[in-house]
Amino acid sequence: MRPDMPADHTTEAERLLRTAARYPEDHEPLFLQAAAHLELAGARDRATGLYDTLLAASPEHPHLVKALKAANLWEYGHEAEAHAIIDGLRAAGPLEPAPWEIVAETLESHDELEAAHNAFTSGLNLLLIPGEEVPYPTHSLLLGRHRVRRMLNLEHDDWDGLADRVNPASVTLDELHDPKRLWALGSDNPAELQAEITRLRAELGSYRTALSRPFPVAVLHWPAGELTELLAAYPTLMSEYPSHEAHLIQLETSLRELAATGTPNLGIVTGTIPSYEAFAASEATPPSDPDLLPQYATTLAARGRATPWPPARNAPCWCGSGHAYRDCHGVA
Q: What is the pLDDT of residues 248-257, one digit of tens each?
A: 999 999 999 9
Same domain, 127 and 223: no
DSSP 308: E
Q: What is the DSSP string of 225-266?
A: HHHHHHHHH-GGGGGT-S-HHHHHHHHHHHHHHHHHTT--SE
Per-residue confidence (pLDDT) for residue 129, from 0 to 100: 83
95 is a domain residue: yes
> Does the pLDDT value for residue 67 go beyond 90?
yes
Same domain, 146 and 292: no
> Does the pLDDT value for residue 32 go beyond 60?
yes
Same domain, 52 and 153: yes
Counting residues of the chain whose pLDDT is more than 70, the rounded percentage is: 87
Same domain, 152 and 36: yes
For 299-305, what is the mean pLDDT? 81
Same domain, 197 and 96: no
> Does the pLDDT value for residue 1 go beyond 70?
no
Same domain, 37 and 172: yes
Per-residue confidence (pLDDT) for residue 116, from 0 to 100: 95
Same domain, 157 and 186: no
Phi and psi at 58, nearest 5°, equal 55, 70
* CATH number reported for the structural domain that contains residue 163 in this entry: 1.25.40.10
> Does the pLDDT value for residue 193 go beyond 60?
no
22 is a domain residue: yes
Same domain, 49 and 192: no
> Does the pLDDT value for residue 7 go beyond 90?
no
Phi and psi at 222, nearest 5°, equal -110, 120
Same domain, 199 and 167: no
The model's confidence at residue 235, banded by pLDDT at 50, 70 and 90, is very high
The model's confidence at residue 210, banded by pLDDT at 50, 70 and 90, is very low
Same domain, 190 and 149: no
Same domain, 173 and 238: no
CA atoms of 121 and 13, how far apart (whole Å): 34
Same domain, 46 and 80: yes
308 is a domain residue: yes
332 is a domain residue: no
> Does the pLDDT value for residue 182 go beyond 80?
no
pTM over 0.85: no
Per-residue confidence (pLDDT) for residue 188, from 0 to 100: 59
More confident call, 122 vs 208 = 122
pLDDT in tens, 101-111: 999 999 988 88
